[in-house]
Structure 1
Amino acid sequence: MNIIDRLIAPFAPGAVAQRLAARRLIQAYEAAKPSRTHKAKGEPHSADLAISLAGKSLREQARWLDENHDLVTGLFDRLEERVVGGAGIGVEPLPLTLDGEVHLEFAAQIKSAWAEWSLRPETSGELSRPQMERLVCRTWLRDGEALAQKLRGRVANYEYKTSIPFALELLEPDYLPLEYNDPSRGILQGVERDAWRRVRRYHLHKSHPGDMQGYYQDTKPVEADRIIHIAYRKRLRQNRGVPLLHAVLIRLAEIKDYEESERVAARISAALAMYIKKGVPDLYTAPKDGAERRSFSIAPGMIFDGLEPGEDVGMINSNRPNPFLEGFRNGQLRAVAAGTRSAYSTVARSYDGTYSAQRQELVESQLGYDQLQHDFVDYWCRPVYREWLSMAIASREIVVPGDVDPLTAYAAVYQGPVMPWINPVHEANAWETLVEAGFSDEAEVARARGRNPQELKRSRAAEIKTNREQGLVFSSDAYHQYYSKQEAPNAQPQDGGAAGTDGSPDGDE
């Protein structure tokens, strides 16, 4: 018992017993008890306070590594490729008629207008939609968050680059000051919320704090419905985002320092260095003032006979490159991959191993990419598409047909990069088996390959029509195989169409 327990024991033994029991219960968890070998560090701060204390430093460190560390640059490049991809997040409109069928004409109208707007969707007109999405994705993962202001309708001193009056002004998270707090107005880290934590306004800087022309503390309030805020959150009730690299920043910085030290050591060791070794110290004669140091010209096959009595030539041995460098570095990169939702092969650019091992790693890493992709769609792509379509309908650039179900006018499928095939033969056979057995359909296969099912159908129909008109027969058209096996050469097909003299249809379906 401690001194407090000993003092109150004569008067309240029951309370002392309860205190001792509670203390033993706490100490039963060894992980909660600090010791010489276990520091038991903890994080008592709230999510918002933790970001206020460390958010700016974490963001700046992540940016510096992205600019100066080749591994980090490659990591974010691959995340761009796997989350957004070269063609951006594909949007396939799926409006339904009142009968529950897909309204193909209205979907095609939306698709055409969306493709045109995607050429210059942001205010400067410098970026296409895929380029914009990749930059936003990189900013979101590297800095922890990204913002965009929605320009709708008439805006003073601005002319839209497309026929639909909607554009996005892209903003780095620096525009939303972490240090701007006003509890009396519900403002925390530049975000104004109500009592239910619903965002009412964002208080943004009028210029970037890091601009060369100076930094002004002036901020302007912007209504929440005009801002898209995509944040990488790790805790409940977290106001601002945290960089993806937050848990591996120290490891990455140390890897960079260690590799730099090894490179310097290897350069020094690569320089040939020799020394003259005297037999005994008594034979050493100090050079006279102004005397030139002895030097020897080295050439292949040379014979050297310039040593004094008792002298010998020694060489500084080189133990670089370090044979353990690669193994140690790879172990560190595995830890980096584990903390960034990535794969070791992706981070290290090492693709050794069997097919099964590569497949297993690809499948597991794809789950992390898919989660980031779904978050990006929820935070960014879906709000952008729905806001754009709303403005397109309001401006009469898109006319909604009367037979479209209003509840489905904004429905769409968002398609990002899919898991690549390691063995195309195995993958294709698996999909074919699923479709034949009825466990999948052609549209799912097309989406899994990154294709729009309707566009694929139209492309296939045009291709088959051209082939039949020109008398071209390929194995991809099972129509020929079916009639060549089931019908006589001059027999009429079951649909009543005419057949050619060679047993194949004449081109009309």
Structure 2
Amino acid sequence: MNIVDRVLAPLFPGAVVKRLAERQAIQAFEAAKVTRTHKAARQSQSADASLQRDGVSLREQSRKLDEDHDLVTGIFDRLEERVVGGSGIAVEPLPLDYAGNIHTEFAAQIKTAYAEWSLRPETSGELTRPQMERLVCRSWLRDGEALGQMLLGKVHNFEHLHAVPFSIELLEADYLPWNYNDPAQGITQGIARDAWRRVKGFHLLKQHPGTVLGYSLSFDTKFVPADRMLHIAYRKRLGQNRGQPLLHAVLMRLADIKDYEESERVAARISAALAMFIKKGSPDEYVPTPSSTDKGGQAIGGRSIPIAPGMVFDGLLPGEDVGMIESNRPSQFVESFRNGQLRAVAAGTRIGYSTATRSYNGTYSAQRQELVESQLGYELLQRDFIDSWSRKVYRAFIDMGLLSGVLKPPGNVNMDSVYSAVYQGPVMPWINPVQEANAWESLVRAGFADEAEVARARGRNPQELKRSRTAEIETNRAKKLVFSSDAFHTFYGKVTLNADLNKP
């Protein structure tokens, strides 16, 4: 209260209260006011409390749309391609020697063993590493999270399918129960944490709650320590315990699009099936339409009029006229309405509009701008996937490879660097290869980029590329062949052929 309010309060308390209320209303944010047209929906619960109530429903709706809605299936397909890709997350080992140089011998040893392990990395032996990563990525984005139990070393009643004793048991998010809460033990939604919110372990169901014979009522769980679990979750709030589906904000819009398109399809089919109708005249002129009967004398249908191109029909009865049905389906506004809705869907799912709709109209500049902006979203998801899954898997592989003796580092390898690696996912495709290549060449010649960066930008491993080029040059030298790629540039930009290539 100001000084005027303090003076008037003992004499006119009601007026002072009214003054304070009006002053507060004037100073308040307009967006905070609840009116007839502005409901001002609010969320005051914690992330865990909110998902405790709605998490299962959001996950099941996303799964159902992925099963039945072609647009949603396409969105997750494209996200798989742009986040993980057909070859999976490529890992380029970079162990160092004590001089700080890359130890190429040990790097090649790691790469060979990792490639062999990647053929059957999970417990069933049915999936390769790229296939496993794509399924994990899809489950993560669709369900909000995915799980993997790491089997390290000897495991009872299990045999590893490769020399390195390390396998992954893939688990859907359903194995981590939402309703397993014990605040006294620090357990929230199946995850046990300490006082600093550091994860201690996971309480997993021993069988999937949705079995073939119906939902299982069993709540038999097992505890798996955090250092043996992989948990990748799509989180949107600080302190969020579990993940939420990528589609959580657009579920209603996608469901509406599906229902609207289905209604338009049905309307178009009905309109296409109706050709014409016969208009009757006055009742005095009406003549009943003869009908066909079966052997029992029951009517089986009315008069039918065969229709053929160029036909002339003179079979109308007295008082009848033919009317044509004008079909206005499908509506001319279907595509514009659908595209407008899909723009909103693309904005809420980190995917490009052209990618979601498969519509690539526009200029080079417009397509380039959209590709650049959408690539930022793909790279963000890609880094999350690498940090939460790929890096942990690779480091566990290195640990078990060293412990089992499959990986034998030479004496000059700096053991502090054995985990060093570059993780490479799908890169942004080139719209105009000539312009892209010229830009990279200018950067390399100016010293603002190196050859390895260019190779990785094209999805190639720099070391493999150099070995391939070396072998190619040696072959060209033996056959006395010289190509434009065998030339080198001077500092002045002139091209000079290597004379040694022409020597036998």
| Alignment TM-score, normalising by the size of structure 1 | 0.91
Aligned with 2:105: secondary structure? helix
Q: 1:399, CA displacement in angstroms?
A: 1.5
Aligned with 2:344: secondary structure? helix
Matches within 5 A, 1:51-450: 51-212=51-212, 215=216, 216-285=218-287, 293-450=302-459
2:502 is aligned with 1:505: yes
Q: Deviations over 1:267-310 (max 9, x none)?
A: 11111332221233543455689776333222222222222333
For the residues of structure 2 that align with 1:357 and 1:446, how far apart are their CA atoms? Answer: 26
CA shift in 2, pair 1:406/1:288, >3 Å: closer
For the residues of structure 1 that align with 2:257 and 2:219, how far apart are their CA atoms? Answer: 38
Aligned to 1:496: none
Q: Deviations over 1:372-414 (max 9, x none)?
A: 0000000000000001101101111112222222221111100
CA shift in 2, pair 1:41/1:485, >3 Å: closer
Q: Deviations over 1:457-476 (max 9, x none)?
A: 11100111011111122111
For the residues of structure 2 that align with 1:256 and 1:355, how far apart are their CA atoms? Answer: 32
* Structure 2 contact 482–502 (Cα < 8 Å) conserved: no
Letter in 1 for 2:487: A
* Structure 1 contact 345–351 (Cα < 8 Å) conserved: yes
* Structure 2 contact 88–133 (Cα < 8 Å) conserved: yes
For the residues of structure 2 that align with 1:477 and 1:38, how far apart are their CA atoms? Answer: 69
Structure 2 gap segments, 5+ residues each: 292-297
Letter in 2 for 1:251: R
For the residues of structure 2 that align with 1:106 and 1:451, how far apart are their CA atoms? Answer: 20
Letter in 2 for 1:32: A
For the residues of structure 2 that align with 1:485 and 1:54, how far apart are their CA atoms? Answer: 65
Aligned with 1:147: secondary structure? strand
Q: 1:188, CA displacement in angstroms?
A: 0.7
CA shift in 2, pair 1:485/1:273, >3 Å: closer
Q: Deviations over 1:222-276 (max 9, x none)?
A: 1111101000000000000000000000011110111111111111111133222
Letter in 2 for 1:465: E
For the residues of structure 2 that align with 1:12 and 1:203, how far apart are their CA atoms? Answer: 63
For the residues of structure 2 that align with 1:412 and 1:252, how far apart are their CA atoms? Answer: 40
CA shift in 2, pair 1:208/1:285, >3 Å: same
For the residues of structure 2 that align with 1:224 and 1:102, how far apart are their CA atoms? Answer: 32
For the residues of structure 1 that align with 2:378 and 2:272, how far apart are their CA atoms? Answer: 42
For the residues of structure 2 that align with 1:75 and 1:186, how far apart are their CA atoms? Answer: 37
Match of 1:467 among 464, 476, 487: 476
For the residues of structure 2 that align with 1:53 and 1:160, how far apart are their CA atoms? Answer: 40
For the residues of structure 2 that align with 1:17 and 1:297, how far apart are their CA atoms? Answer: 82
Q: Deviations over 1:68-108 (max 9, x none)?
A: 11011111000000000000000011111111111111111
Q: Deviations over 1:343-391 (max 9, x none)?
A: 0110001111111110010000000000000000000000000011011
For the residues of structure 2 that align with 1:44 and 1:352, how far apart are their CA atoms? Answer: 43
Aligned with 1:476: secondary structure? helix
For the residues of structure 2 that align with 1:375 and 1:480, how far apart are their CA atoms? Answer: 40
Q: Which moved further from structure 2: 407-416 or 135-144?
A: 407-416
For the residues of structure 2 that align with 1:218 and 1:394, how far apart are their CA atoms? Answer: 33
* Structure 1 contact 276–314 (Cα < 8 Å) conserved: yes
For the residues of structure 2 that align with 1:465 and 1:34, how far apart are their CA atoms? Answer: 77
For the residues of structure 2 that align with 1:64 and 1:117, how far apart are their CA atoms? Answer: 34
* Structure 1 contact 88–130 (Cα < 8 Å) conserved: yes
For the residues of structure 2 that align with 1:236 and 1:486, how far apart are their CA atoms? Answer: 59
For the residues of structure 1 that align with 2:19 and 2:350, how far apart are their CA atoms? Answer: 46
* Structure 2 contact 192–203 (Cα < 8 Å) conserved: yes
Q: Which moved further from structure 2: 281-290 or 57-66?
A: 281-290
Aligned with 1:234: secondary structure? coil
For the residues of structure 2 that align with 1:89 and 1:398, how far apart are their CA atoms? Answer: 21
Aligned to 2:294: none
* Structure 1 contact 255–329 (Cα < 8 Å) conserved: yes
CA shift in 2, pair 1:427/1:74, >3 Å: same
For the residues of structure 2 that align with 1:10 and 1:281, how far apart are their CA atoms? Answer: 89
Number of residue pairs matched?
488
* Structure 2 contact 268–329 (Cα < 8 Å) conserved: yes
Letter in 1 for 2:44: P
Q: Matched residues, percent identical? A: 67
For the residues of structure 2 that align with 1:75 and 1:121, how far apart are their CA atoms? Answer: 27
* Structure 2 contact 182–188 (Cα < 8 Å) conserved: yes
* Structure 2 contact 289–303 (Cα < 8 Å) conserved: no
* Structure 2 contact 48–242 (Cα < 8 Å) conserved: yes
Q: 1:19, CA displacement in angstroms?
A: 4.9
| Alignment TM-score, normalising by the size of structure 2 | 0.92
* Structure 2 contact 287–317 (Cα < 8 Å) conserved: no
Letter in 2 for 1:275: F
For the residues of structure 1 that align with 2:31 and 2:232, how far apart are their CA atoms? Answer: 36
Q: 1:20, CA displacement in angstroms?
A: 3.6
Aligned to 1:23: 24
Letter in 2 for 1:87: S
For the residues of structure 2 that align with 1:398 and 1:225, how far apart are their CA atoms? Answer: 22
* Structure 1 contact 473–480 (Cα < 8 Å) conserved: no
For the residues of structure 2 that align with 1:445 and 1:308, how far apart are their CA atoms? Answer: 81
Aligned with 2:485: secondary structure? coil
For the residues of structure 2 that align with 1:486 and 1:303, how far apart are their CA atoms? Answer: 83
* Structure 1 contact 480–505 (Cα < 8 Å) conserved: no
Aligned to 1:10: 10
* Structure 2 contact 148–168 (Cα < 8 Å) conserved: yes
Structure 1 gap segments, 5+ residues each: 494-498
Aligned with 1:245: secondary structure? coil
Aligned with 2:99: secondary structure? coil
Letter in 1 for 2:503: D
